[in-house]
Amino acid sequence: MSRGASRELDALRSLHQVFTAIHSGQDLAEVLQRAAQGVVDALGFQVAVIDFVDPYGYVEALAVAGDEDACRALKGRRVSLDELQDEFAVAEDWGLLKFVPHDRLPEGAEYSWAPDYEPLEDPEAWHPLDALIALLQGPTGEMLGMLSVDLPVDGRRPNHLTRQVLEMFAVQAGLAIYHAQERERLQERVRLAAATRRIVETASQELDLDRVLEACFEPLVDGFHADRVVIRVFDVDVEGPHGERLATEGATYPPGILGHLPALLAGERGETSRARGARMLDLGERVAWACWPARRSVVVGELGDTTSGLLDEAERGAVLEMVHGLGASSMLLVPLGAGPEVLGTVALFRADASSGWSEAENEAALEVGRELGRVVHRTRLYQRERQLVTELQELDHYKVEMIGTITHELKNPLTSISGHVELLEDEGVAPTSVGAIGRNVRRLQRLVGDLLLLNSVQDPQRPFAPSPLDLGALVEEVGDLLAIQASRRQVTLDTSGVGQAIRILGERDDVLRLLTNVIGNGIKYTPQGGVVRVAARAVDGRAEFTCQDTGIGIAEHDLSTLFDEFDRGSNPAAHAQPGTGLGLAIVRRIVERHGGTVEVESSLGSGSTFRVTLPMPDGQEAAAPDVTQGHSFRIG
């Protein structure tokens, strides 16, 4: 057999081996290495390189065979595809092969490796700067890689036969890359589908949001090959990051770091970094709202960055710094939403700088965001429903208690009245019984009157129709009415502190009732010889009315329930006076209805001060008045 024929046989054998390797599904790098070696061994080139085109437009040398220097120089080399396009543009087209003669090489071309030797004196001689590249393509012609050869052993440009065999190697190497990528894509799809399914399954079985979030970490870390996962759920009811439910899983921060995300995002470097962390959260929220309507994700990183149009350069730089601070090289962020609403974000971080986020990963992450959005929406509805049920139950409980107390309050005087009536029937008219009947009837009248009033002031159906009123005049009116009661009890009622022309916005009957109850209590709970001082003035755009007495005072522990229905406190001196325990409950409802405030400041044995503020017709909100003495309690 001639030398040429044996070389061709070697080439065919080597080609056959490459075929076999491809179809037996061996490791891609190994298959390509074999192909490169085959080219060197069988086709008489001293250097063969197989490059692979990555999704980000770079070619990287995966397999290098032949000359040791060349192997060292070329292995792992990464060049942008754009640069190569310049070389292809000037190449001679040899079918799948591109031949770039040294004299056409674009200026500054970096790609070719230039061995140091003198070319032959021959028009067909191979020049050290010549380049011969075979494109590796997929079934539909997409460029997957390239096979380049250099340094033909005979020092000449390859003949027709060598080119044809080289093309065959290229076709096989192209198929090998294509199949390997397909295999990888398939594995990735299976992996992502499994992760998404696990999340959907947990989400459909679990009602507790925290438990759903916790169960997401493992599938997200495994399925998406993420090194850290941060799930953030915005809380619509609470402002600021502290009200949010945050969960993260990663190498440094275990789950359970809830509420510390600003510090985490800032890399925990003090107060200013915290502010930066909070800024990151704001940015994340803004980006999520921008992404949600388009159902898109965003990648921040050196590879495959998609922030353009969403973040400006400075913002992108800051986010990237945060990503690096977390020990990652890139972040994939998807909105977590339901309907038109964005409810949070899912951020996946990856440390490996050479692997970006694939389209399949982007889509699967979006699906996870939608699924978690549904869960958050559902748990919110569930929580709202439960809250409503609790409120209704409380209301029910209140009604039952109220009816119980009212019945009790009505029963005592009625029992007493009926007892005395029986006595009257048996023994004729007895003055003590008449007195008791009269007392109890008055008590019943007071009680029924107060109940009716309470019912009316807390009736949500009753429209609120305020009008401008003169507070000073109303206080004077009530003062006149209560003057007899005060003088009977030998208590001085001093209204000299009532200013002129203090306008309020309110309902006349309600305000009169409020003033009567507060001033009336002052007189009732002040022993003989005491003073009740009433004042009214305008403070910071609001009308303020105060009633200060020198009476029995109120114990600190009674203050917080003072405005509850039927509460009469614990002081026996107060119980000695007639009362229903409804007067201040009525005051409280009236104040609430008017958008005012009421506060009491008192200490046992040394008198009390009640201070009520009400809105003025064009008044502004005023700061709450300062409480300076004794103990106090405030409503509104």
Q: What residues make contact with ligand ADP under the rule CB under 6 A?
A: 517, 521-522, 525, 549, 551-554, 562, 567-569, 571, 574, 579-585, 608
Instruction: Please state the closest distance from residue 548 (CB atom) to ligand ADP, in A.
Output: 9
Instruction: Please state the closest distance from residue 573 (CB atom) to ligand ADP, in A.
Output: 8
Q: Distance between CA 471 and CA 518 in Å, rounded? A: 14
CB neighbours of 123 closer than 8 A, spacing ≥ 6?
none
CB 95 within 8 A of CB 167: yes
Q: Distance between CA 268 and CA 246 in Å, rounded? A: 16
- Residue 230 phi/psi, 5° resolution? -125, 120
Instruction: Please state the closest distance from residue 522 (CB atom) to ligand ADP, in A.
Output: 5
Closest CA to 465 of 515, 511, 506, 509: 506
| Closer Cβ to ligand ADP, 127 or 489, answer by number | 489
| Closer Cβ to ligand ADP, 241 or 607, answer by number | 607
Instruction: Please state the closest distance from residue 215 (CB atom) to ligand ADP, in A.
Output: 53
| Closer Cβ to ligand ADP, 416 or 608, answer by number | 608
Closest CA to 492 of 548, 410, 427: 548
CB 47 within 8 A of CB 126: no
Instruction: Please state the closest distance from residue 525 (CB atom) to ligand ADP, in A.
Output: 3
Q: Distance between CA 327 and CA 266 in Å, rounded? A: 12
Q: Distance between CA 144 and CA 171 in Å, rounded? A: 11
Q: Distance between CA 363 and CA 357 in Å, rounded? A: 10
| Closer Cβ to ligand ADP, 329 or 440, answer by number | 440
| Closer Cβ to ligand ADP, 250 or 581, answer by number | 581
| Closer Cβ to ligand ADP, 44 or 607, answer by number | 607
Strands 245-250 and 298-301, sheet pairing: unpaired
| Closer Cβ to ligand ADP, 90 or 448, answer by number | 448
Backbone dihedral region of 490: left (phi > 0), alpha (psi from -120 to 50 degrees) or beta? left
SS3 assignment, position 339: coil
For residue 73, count other CB atoms closer than 10 A to its CB: 16
| Closer Cβ to ligand ADP, 433 or 516, answer by number | 516
Instruction: Please state the closest distance from residue 482 (CB atom) to ligand ADP, in A.
Output: 13
Instruction: Please state the closest distance from residue 600 (CB atom) to ligand ADP, in A.
Output: 8
What is the C-alpha R_g of the chain? 44
SS3 assignment, position 209: helix
Instruction: Please state the closest distance from residue 574 (CB atom) to ligand ADP, in A.
Output: 3
CB neighbours of 226 closer than 8 A, spacing ≥ 6?
220, 332, 348, 349, 350
Instruction: Please state the closest distance from residue 604 (CB atom) to ligand ADP, in A.
Output: 9
- For tokens 């009680």, what's the residue? 447
Q: Which whole-number Å values give the CA distances from 1 to 7, 11, 16, 45, in the listed order? A: 10, 15, 20, 22
Instruction: Please state the closest distance from residue 507 (CB atom) to ligand ADP, in A.
Output: 20
Instruction: Please state the closest distance from residue 210 (CB atom) to ligand ADP, in A.
Output: 44
3-state SS, 439-488, equals HHHHHHHHHHHHHHHHHHHCCCCCCCCCEEEEHHHHHHHHHHHHHHHHHH
Instruction: Please state the closest distance from residue 459 (CB atom) to ligand ADP, in A.
Output: 19
| Closer Cβ to ligand ADP, 466 or 579, answer by number | 579
| Closer Cβ to ligand ADP, 38 or 579, answer by number | 579
Q: Distance between CA 438 and CA 421 in Å, rounded? A: 11
| Closer Cβ to ligand ADP, 37 or 580, answer by number | 580
| Closer Cβ to ligand ADP, 467 or 570, answer by number | 570
- Residue 619 phi/psi, 5° resolution? -75, 160
